[in-house]
């Protein structure tokens, strides 16, 4: 299984094909979408109730369009990327509108990975690191989650 960075990148590239992005800013936009989504996942993991929000989104229990994770990713993307590019309201709205689609593609990736019969923080870490208990992946998010929750 791919790590979360790979999954986000694949989802961003697939969704971005539906919007005509000017060539001179395309890599900035695609990288900005990926980093905003990863930033949202990471920030959500560190706040109270964040693990439950991630669990809801990644298991498919919460629709991406109504998830606070999506709202935060949109806010990060608008503030850190779009505000600097001056692309115009219509294109900005189209690009921001990709975020629920991208996060929706991540829905359902979280399952019981450690075989204990439930989906918990261990399963989130395993999934975000690449999908197996012995995965050697050093996913940024997996590392952040691992350092935050290693004492649990």
Domain limits at 36?
4-110
For residue 15, being part of any structural domain is answered with yes
pLDDT value at residue 97: 94
Rounded CA-CA distance 62/138 in Å is 27
pLDDT value at residue 9: 87
* pTM (predicted TM-score): 0.77
For residue 122, being part of any structural domain is answered with no
For residue 151, being part of any structural domain is answered with no
pLDDT digits (tens, 9 = 90+) for 84-93: 998 999 999 9
pLDDT digits (tens, 9 = 90+) for 25-50: 999 999 999 999 999 988 998 899 99
Rounded CA-CA distance 78/88 in Å is 12
Rounded CA-CA distance 117/114 in Å is 8
Complete DSSP assignment for 36-102: HHHHHHHHHHHSTTHHHHHHHHHHTSS-GGG-HHHHHHHHHHIIIIIHHH---HHHHHHHHTHHHHH
For residue 128, being part of any structural domain is answered with no
User: What's the structural domain count of the chain?
Assistant: 1
For residue 124, being part of any structural domain is answered with no
pLDDT value at residue 152: 41
Q: Which regions in the chain score pLDDT beneath 70?
A: 1-2, 110-114, 119, 124, 127-152
- Helix, strand, coil abundance in the chain, percent, nearest 5: 70, 0, 30
Rounded CA-CA distance 77/83 in Å is 9
For residue 10, being part of any structural domain is answered with yes
Closest residue by Cα to residue 59 from 110, 115, 120: 110
Query: The tokens of 92 are what?
Result: 């900005």
């Amino acid at each position: 299984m791919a790590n979360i960075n790979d999954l986000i990148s694949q989802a961003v590239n697939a969704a971005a094909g539906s919007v005509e992005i000017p060539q001179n800013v395309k890599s900035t936009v695609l990288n900005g979408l990926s980093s905003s989504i990863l930033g949202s996942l990471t920030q959500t993991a560190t706040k109270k109730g964040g693990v439950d929000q991630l669990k809801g989104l990644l298991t498919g229990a919460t629709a991406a369009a109504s998830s606070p994770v999506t709202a935060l990713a949109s806010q990060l993307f608008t503030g850190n990327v779009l505000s600097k590019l001056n692309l115009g309201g219509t294109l900005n709205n189209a690009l921001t509108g990709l975020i629920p689609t991208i996060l929706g593609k991540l829905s359902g990736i979280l399952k019981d990975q450690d075989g204990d019969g439930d989906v918990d923080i261990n399963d989130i870490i395993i999934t975000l690191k690449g999908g197996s208990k012995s995965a050697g992946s050093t996913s940024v998010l997996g590392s952040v989650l691992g350092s935050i929750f290693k004492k649990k």
